[in-house]
Amino acid sequence: MKARVLSFAVALCVLCGAVHGQGWDVTALRKVNGWDTPFARKFSKGVSNSIYAVGAAVPLSIGIASLVKRDSKLMGDAIFIGTSMVEAAALTFAAKEVVGRERPFDRWPGMVVRREDVGSKSFPSGHTAMAFSLATSLSLRYPKWYVIVPSALWATSVGISRMQLGVHYPSDVISGALIGVGVAFANVYVNRWLDRLIFPEKKPRRFFAY
C-alpha cells in the first residue's frame, strides 16, 4: 500500500512539474485539438457529457438491483462506485483551486480552439478523474474482461475528448486519470474501515467492504 501511495505521489509531482514546462503539452494538445471534423466534434461532446449520465446510471442501477434482490453486497458495490466518483471530483476541484492553471484556450488564444464552455481552472481534468474512478472501481468489483475493457476504453475516450474540445492539456488528463485510479484503489481500504466501524460485531464483511 505504501509503495502504491509513494508511486502515485511521485507521478503527480512529475505532472505538476510539467504544468510549468508546457512545450510538449501544447504540442500534443494542438494535434488532438486539430482533429476538427463533424464526427470528431460530435463524438467528443457526446463522450465528454456521458460522464454525468453514466456516472449516475451505473451506481444507481446497481443500487436498485440490490433493493430488488435484497442483496447487501450489491448495495456495497453501488456505494463503493458512487463514493469513488464523488471523492475523485472533490479532489480534482481542490487541486484546481490550489494549482490555478489557466485553461489552454485562455493561455494560447488563436492556437487552441475552444469547443465547450467551462468554468474553474484547468489542472487536473475532473471529467477524466471521475471517468477513471468509475472505470477502476467498477473493474475492481467486477474483474471480468467484458467490464474492464469497455470501461477503460470509455474512460480513455473521455480524456481524449477533453483535449479535442480544447479545455484541457494532456497533463491535465493524465493527472485526472491517475487521481481517478488512485482514489478507487484507496477507497477499497476506506470501505473496509467503514465496514469494521459500522458493523464491529460482524466478522464477515457485509456492506461496505471489498
**pLDDT tens per residue, range 53-105:** 999 999 999 999 999 999 988 988 999 999 999 999 999 999 999 999 999 99
pLDDT at 208 over 70: no
The closest of 180, 157, 117, 200 to 35, measured between CA atoms, is 157
Q: What CATH number did the domain enclosing 149 receive?
A: 1.20.144
Distance CA 104, CA 95 (A): 17
Question: Does 99 map to a domain?
Answer: yes
Question: Does 208 map to a domain?
Answer: no
Question: Does 110 map to a domain?
Answer: yes
Residue ranges of alpha helices (H) inside 100-169 are 104-107, 126-141, 145-164
Question: Does 203 map to a domain?
Answer: no
Question: Does 209 map to a domain?
Answer: no
The closest of 10, 32, 16, 89 to 55, measured between CA atoms, is 89
Question: Does 89 map to a domain?
Answer: yes
Domains held by the chain: number: 1
What predicted TM-score, i.e. pTM, was given to this entire model? Answer: 0.85
Question: Does 210 map to a domain?
Answer: no
Whether the CB-CB separation of 164 and 32 falls below 8 Å is answered with yes
pLDDT class of 199 with cuts at 50, 70, 90: low
All three cell numbers of 160, joined, read 481524449
